[in-house]
Structure 1
Amino acid sequence: MKKIILIFSAGLLAYACTTVPLTGRRSLAVISNEEIQPLVNEEYKKAIAAEKNLTKTSNGQMVVKVGQKMAKAVESYLVSEGYQDLVNDFAWEFNLLESDQINAWCMPGGKVAFYTGILPITKDEAGIAVVMGHEIAHAVASHARERMSNGMLLNGLLGGASAAMGQNPTMMQQILLQGVGAGSQLGMLSFSRKHELEADEMGLIFMAMAGYDPRQAPAFWQRMAAAGGGAPPEFLSTHPGPDRRIERLNANMPKALQYYKK
């Protein structure tokens, strides 16, 4: 019986995988973005309602401007590379929320939030583009879906979200909430270092595609590191160290500059 289960699991892993755009990494996907989205929409509304929304201010409109510009460039690239189905999953939304937290996040489907606490570090549109590219990359790479898929597999919940709900609805609900980082007012999860570095690499290229100089990214992370003081900002707390990030960004810079047109 154990051998049959192992064979079945191996077959599932081989079948339920997708390719991450740009990096080509294979990721587990036993749940679809379509199944995730209703919960995401609900939790995004809660998160937006929990803080004062400053999206209509001049800073808020700058965040929206950068987000829309980058989303358009990223979608154009994805369509050209044959990822139309992935593009269909996006319903981009950008909001600026009043909070001292030095943070920003993006839920699946392109639900983005910036906190005012990060704006003194981003400084301008290029700085916002560094953060926006990183967060958009999490959505494009379907990192939350991958995390949920791993959680389902580890808990023996196979056959998609609907079937898993029938097997163990309580466990499945917990996996879904953890996967999108829900269950708190902030609502965003801490991705693995693998996901963070992948989002850095993709985000660097995404900002270049949108016409923002990717060479501004290392400078942003230097400012972010300096802002930490005794304790790292939320945006750095569970992430790779800034020195490593800057090193990796510089290593990927030649690739990003190929997409950059002034």
Structure 2
Amino acid sequence: MSLRWLLRLPWVICLALLVGCEETPTGRSQLALVPETLMARMGEDAFEQLRHRQPVSGNASIDHQVQCVARQVVAAAEARYPAADLPEAWEVVVFEDASPNAFALPGGRIGVHTGLLQVAETPDQLAAVIGHEVGHVLADHGNERLTQQLGIKAALLLVGIFADGDLGQQQLMQALGLGAQLGISLPFSRAHEEEADLMGLAIMAQAGFDPQQSVALWRNMAAAGGGQPPEFLSTHPANDSRIDALQQGMEEAVATYRAATPADCSG
């Protein structure tokens, strides 16, 4: 069995699997094979581990604002994407952490770092972040990414077993691993981020938060973050690319916002 044919084999398998693809809420084709019950259990376990490792914020004012924004964002997400596979309930926790970050896990767990409130200066900007993270959950990005990683590992194992010895198994595996990382994993991760950005924009607008504040948020992020790695070596789009993509969806989002009841999480 030749090495050239084996290198093609994983892609033949992938193409066969793609026949059964589903679609994300935005209509993008998606391969997500891990059972949702397992994804939810993994999300719950990961969240509990974080609770034990990371202190929870005792700032009642910050917690009130985050809970208010999250509650309205989740309600808008459910209204905007009713066909999505939604968690039965959402849990929101503010963690005492200086890094400007937030995350959402399968099963409906949302974590917000206190440091994010130093960058997301208004409830509208906070809604942009939480809307983005809820978008990841609704689009099942965690499942897609896990499915993808398992597929890459299986393909590399297959090639490693049957590779011709004259190339050197270790060198071949390293080369294929790098190719898979740059050619598959990172672009898919950027696609997830871009999709979550646009879903988050639509969600925050429907919730009554000003979508134009999403651009202000990423400008704040750029100012706080300093230098970034080259975009082709990053799992996240560059800040300028992110802002450009948001601007393209802004007209529709602003129209949605003007028709919505204004959100009030300032008090």
Structure-1 residue corresponding to 2:27? 24
1:106 aligned counterpart, secondary structure: strand
Q: Percent identity?
A: 35
The offset of 1:191, in angstroms, is 7.4
Which position in structure 1 is the counterpart of 2:149?
151
Which position in structure 1 is the counterpart of 2:56? 53
Work out the CA distance in 1 between the residues paired with 2:19 and 2:138: 21
Q: Counterpart in 2 of 1:241?
A: 238
SS class of match (2:75): helix
Distance across 1 between alignment mates of 2:149 and 2:108: 22
Question: Could you tell me how far 1:7 is from its partner in structure 2?
Answer: 6.7
Residues 177-188 of structure 1: pairs in structure 2 closer than 5 A: none
Structure 1 residue 247, shift from structure 2 partner? 1.0
Q: Does 1:216 align with 2:213?
A: yes
Q: CA deviation at 1:11?
A: 3.7
Q: Is the 8 A contact 1:55 1:61 kept in 2?
A: no
Note the residue ranges of structure 2 that are not aligned, 5 or more in a row: 156-186, 263-267
Describe the superposition over 1:215-257 as per-residue Cα deviations: whole angstroms up to 9, x where unpaired. Answer: 111111111111124579xxxx742111111111111101212
Contact 2:102 2:133 in 1 (8 A): yes
The alignment's TM-score, normalised by the length of structure 1, stands at 0.75
Q: How does 1:94-105 map to 2 (within 5 A)?
A: 94-105=92-103
Query: Is the Cα contact below 8 Å between 1:129 and 1:212 reproduced in 2?
Result: yes
- Selected match of 2:18 from 3, 13, 22: 13
Q: Which residue type is aligned with residue 26 of structure 1?
A: S
CA distance in 1, matches of 2:12, 2:221: 47
How many aligned residue pairs are there? 220
- Larger C-alpha radius of gyration, 1 or 2? 2
Contact 1:55–1:95, Cα closer than 8 Å, also in 2: no
Distance across 2 between alignment mates of 1:36 and 1:71: 19
- Pairwise CA distance, 1:90: 4.3
**1:198 alignment partner in structure 2:** 195
Q: What amino acid is the match of 1:195? A: H
Determine the structure 2 residue equivalent to 1:111: 109
Output the amino acid matched with 1:60: D
Q: CA RMSD in A?
A: 2.7
Cα–Cα, structure 1 residues 125 and 13, in superposed 2: closer, same or farther, change >3 Å? same
TM-score normalised over the length of structure 2? 0.74
CA distance 1:68–1:156, change in 2 (3 Å): same
> Is there any run of 5+ residues in structure 1 with no aligned partner, and where?
158-189
Change (3 A) 1:135 1:121: same
CA distance in 2, matches of 1:253, 1:57: 33
Aligned equivalent of 1:259, options 244, 256, 259? 256
Is the 2:95–2:112 Cα contact (8 Å) retained in structure 1? yes
